[in-house]
Structure 1
Amino acid sequence: MANFWTSRTAVITGISITLLGAFYVYQSPTSISYTMSKSTSSDGIPGLEFKLNQDSRNPPSLLVTLKNNSPDTPYTLLKWGTPLDSAALNTGVFKIVDSDSGDEVQQFVLKINRKMPPEQEELVTLAPGTEEELSVVFNKPWMPEEKPAKYKVKAEGSFLGVWDKYGGDVTEDDKNAYNDSPFSGKKFTTNEVVMEVH
């Protein structure tokens, strides 16, 4: 009889532990759908895509295109630190490698003091399905003088300030606190293009 109660107690204890464990897993904040969305999401901004194409060989220049592929979300972004930045060739946004030797072109990266809050022209708004283009001329003194030449070029970095709203809705407070914008710190990377210099 004592064995019966011992076995029964062991079974009840085992069932209780299993039920408590199942309840804990079910109530855990890390649900299955959360885990799946984390594993399939990228570190970029959904819908925004940078692309590079060569548009001139002499002087060598690349056309930077930023497209908003989102069907319903507008984005306003701060250009600083992106390929759309007027100072992009001074901030190390572009990685330039000699196509033949594989040697990276050494750039003179400058520390730039920016005026706060950012001026309105430092922002760009992309409505759903639209794009922004900028031609970047690679004419800095640190560019090698050898011609003809080919260089592999791509851009990568982090967005400093991006808001999922139109530019007219971005306030002065938003611009002053661009580091607190919803997508600040998200990574971007472009395709790699072979830039020919003649």
Structure 2
Amino acid sequence: MNGRTVVITALTATFLGSLYFVYAPSTFPNMTKSASKAPSGVPGLEFKLSQISKNPPSLLVTLKNSSPGLSFTLLKWGTPLDPQASNLGVFQLIDAETGEAVKSDILKIGRKMPPSRDDLQEISPGTEHAIEVVLDKPWMPRKKPAKYKVTAQGKLHGVWEKPASELATEELESYADSPFSDRAFSTEEVLLAVE
């Protein structure tokens, strides 16, 4: 080999090695753990928001199960399906005109343990469940007309890959140990018009 071939080979090896370290998954778990966030969502489950009324401002919250064969049971606490969701900071609003976040009053709610069967939402394969959420709380700005960018974000507290009828009381008592507990969820942003 001549000198030129050695230099070209060395540069090529360096370049390919650099690409490997940039694009390959890390094999150093301690380095990736500190920079990574909680796992996101549950494969097959998705929350969606859409506006259904301008006065009072109301959203349709839809939970869709796109799995072809799995039923899921979700603990509603802290999700957009929670009857207290608008008091818990689940919905984030940004004034579309000013770009400022709307401050909401977040209540601390005591929950009866274990969760009741009424706190669960079962969703069969390929189906959707929808509820209406009226954003008429005292923390909502009184400015009218107005437009807000809205998302829903938080963490799931309990999700099981089975129908609610198959959940044992012990599983409800230890909902934090459910397979998808502590997974983050977020929706796409929707525009909410208020009149």
TM range (shorter): 0.7 to 0.9
Q: Which amino acid aligns with 2:182?
A: G
> Which residues in structure 2 correspond to 1:1-198 (within 5 Å)?
43-198=40-195
Unaligned runs of 5+ in 2: 1-26, 28-38
- SS of 1:76's partner is strand
State the 1:112 CA deviation.
0.5
C-alpha distance in structure 1 between counterparts of 2:57 and 2:64, whole Å:
23
State the 1:44 CA deviation.
1.5
State the 1:43 CA deviation.
2.1
C-alpha distance in structure 2 between counterparts of 1:43 and 1:193, whole Å:
20
Unaligned runs of 5+ in 1: 1-29, 31-41
C-alpha RMSD over aligned residues = 1.0
Task: Tell me how many residue pairs correspond in the alignment.
Answer: 158
Instruction: Provide the residue aligned with 1:6 in structure 2.
Output: none
State the 1:172 CA deviation.
1.1
C-alpha distance in structure 1 between counterparts of 2:42 and 2:143, whole Å:
38
TM-score (norm 1): 0.78
C-alpha distance in structure 2 between counterparts of 1:142 and 1:93, whole Å:
14
- SS of 2:101's partner is coil
C-alpha distance in structure 2 between counterparts of 1:187 and 1:70, whole Å:
19
State the 1:184 CA deviation.
0.2
C-alpha distance in structure 2 between counterparts of 1:164 and 1:176, whole Å:
17
C-alpha distance in structure 2 between counterparts of 1:136 and 1:43, whole Å:
24
Deviation by residue 1:19-52 (Cα, 9 ceiling, x = unmatched): xxxxxxxxxxx8xxxxxxxxxxx62201001100
Structure number, greater radius of gyration: 1
C-alpha distance in structure 2 between counterparts of 1:175 and 1:107, whole Å:
30
